[in-house]
């Protein structure tokens, strides 16, 4: 639902409220709450109330959709996903062909091999309807007026200060140059002005401290934050785990070893001239911090290096510093 539009030269700057987008943001926080400190109490309360089966299914889908961020991108491809009625948006998604639904995966290289079929698509729609009807409907009725007021406020600020100043102040890791928007995430996203026709401004009360953005053909999306709660002066648990896992000489050697090839406890112990018990302890800590994957092959468990998480370390640290 478009709240307001600003015409700037050849651009349209659209301030869009999407109940479906906000619900997907809430699921992202629910299944990965550690660094969303403003919403960590909400996530705990929801986790205590939601059915175990639905929670496990949402978390399972999160692993193949970048914690539901991929599904959020549907809102930028199909205008009907921004319907003021969430059920209408979900019915529209349900009617999409599998190929049209899968368009959102094209920008995500790490998900190219995901076996996404019609059964899985139907399952996603079914669990979203269950989550909305049973759990999120009441939540949305409470926060919806705030989200709309926030977007109207931002529209007024953008009108007063100008588009470039407004966007430059949206987030500390957005940079506006003379010819492009720069998004400093786990990698640098550069969106040239000359390729844009539409700037979409969305709003969420869940997504802080992420720099949430999307881009597509002649479009770039920004997200403004509606703050509901006071800041919590804690260090996110996932950041602590990550930093502790990296703060040991042996574990750093293990990571370097696994960057070259997969390895078992036995092969790593032999390579580093340490006991298997010692290596096993360090592998557990690295695995718990999600720095490693593992899989069983015959009688052995092999560990793999999580390159994606290593690339994200500066981003995770900056998100905490920005909070």
3-state SS track over the chain: CEEEEEEECCEEEEEECCHHHHHHHHHHHHHCCCCCHHHHHHHHHHHHHCCHHHHHHHHHHHHCCCCCHHHHCHHHHCHHHHCCCHHHHHHHHHHCCHHHHHHHHHHCHHHCCCCCCHHHHHHHHHHHHHHHHHHHHHHHHHHHHHHHHHHHHHHHHHHHHCHHHHHHCCCCCEEECCCEEEEECCCEEEEEHHHCCEEEEEEECCCCCCCCCEEECCEEEEEEECCCCCCCCCCCHHHHHHHHHHCCHHHHHHHHHHHHCCEEHHHHHHHHCCCHHHHHHHHHHHHHCCCEEEEEECCEEEEEECHHHHHHHHHHHHHHHHC
Residue 134 region, left (φ>0) first, then alpha (ψ -120 to 50), else beta?
Answer: alpha
Distances (CA, A) of 116 to 93, 242, 259: 15, 31, 28
State residue 187 phi and psi, 5-degree precision: -140, 170
Nearest to 234 by CA among 60, 36, 63: 36
Q: Residues of the chain whose pLDDT is less than 50?
A: none
Token pair 């931002």 in the structure block, residue: 154
pLDDT reported for residue 229: 61
Q: Percent of the chain scored above 90 by pLDDT?
A: 62
β-bridge partners, 15: 4, 201
- How far is Cα 47 from Cα 44, in angstroms, rounded to an integer? 5
Nearest to 72 by CA among 126, 116, 22: 22
- How far is Cα 239 from Cα 321, in angstroms, rounded to an integer? 11
Residue 234: CB atoms within 10 Å: 12
pLDDT reported for residue 186: 76
pTM: 0.75
Tokens of 61: 């889908």
- How far is Cα 126 from Cα 57, in angstroms, rounded to an integer? 11
Burial 7-29 (b: 16+ CB within 10 A, else e): eeeebebbbbbbbbbbbbbbbbb
- How far is Cα 149 from Cα 31, in angstroms, rounded to an integer? 27
Distances (CA, A) of 237 to 7, 48, 65, 322: 43, 19, 22, 16
pLDDT reported for residue 234: 67
Task: Return all residues near 103 (Cβ < 8 A) that are at least 6 apart.
Answer: 77
pLDDT reported for residue 260: 83
Nearest to 25 by CA among 199, 208, 237: 208
């Amino acid at each position: 639902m478009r709240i307001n539009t600003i015409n700037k030269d050849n651009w349209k700057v659209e301030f869009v409220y999407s109940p479906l987008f906000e619900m997907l943001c809430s699921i992202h926080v629910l299944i990965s709450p550690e660094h969303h400190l403003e919403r960590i109490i909400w996530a705990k309360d929801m986790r205590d109330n939601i059915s175990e089966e639905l929670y496990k299914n949402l978390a399972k889908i999160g692993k193949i959709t970048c914690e539901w961020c991929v599904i959020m991108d549907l809102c930028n491809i199909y205008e009907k996903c921004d319907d003021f009625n969430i059920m209408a948006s979900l019915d529209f998604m349900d009617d999409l062909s599998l190929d049209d639904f899968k368009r959102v995966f094209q920008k995500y290289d790490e998900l190219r091999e995901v076996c996404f079929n019609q059964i899985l698509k139907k399952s996603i729609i079914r669990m979203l309807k269950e989550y909305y009807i049973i759990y999120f409907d009441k939540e949305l009725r409470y926060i919806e007026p705030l989200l709309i007021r926030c977007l109207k406020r931002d529209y007024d600020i953008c009108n007063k200060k100008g588009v470039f100043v407004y966007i430059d102040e949206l987030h500390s890791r957005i940079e506006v140059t003379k010819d492009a928007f720069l998004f400093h995430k786990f990698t640098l996203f550069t969106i040239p002005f000359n390729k844009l026709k539409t700037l979409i401004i969305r709003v969420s009360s869940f997504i802080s401290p992420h720099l949430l953005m999307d881009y597509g053909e002649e479009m770039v999306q920004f997200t403004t934050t509606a703050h509901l709660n006071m800041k919590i002066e804690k260090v996110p648990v996932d950041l602590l785990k990550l930093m502790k896992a990296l703060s040991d000489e042996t574990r750093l050697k293990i990571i370097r070893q696994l960057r070259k090839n997969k390895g078992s406890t036995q092969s790593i112990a032999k390579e580093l001239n340490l006991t298997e018990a010692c290596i096993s302890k360090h592998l557990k800590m690295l695995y718990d911090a999600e720095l490693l994957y593992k899989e069983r092959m015959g009688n052995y468990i092999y560990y793999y290096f999580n390159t994606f998480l290593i690339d994200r370390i500066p981003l995770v640290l900056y998100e905490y510093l920005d909070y």
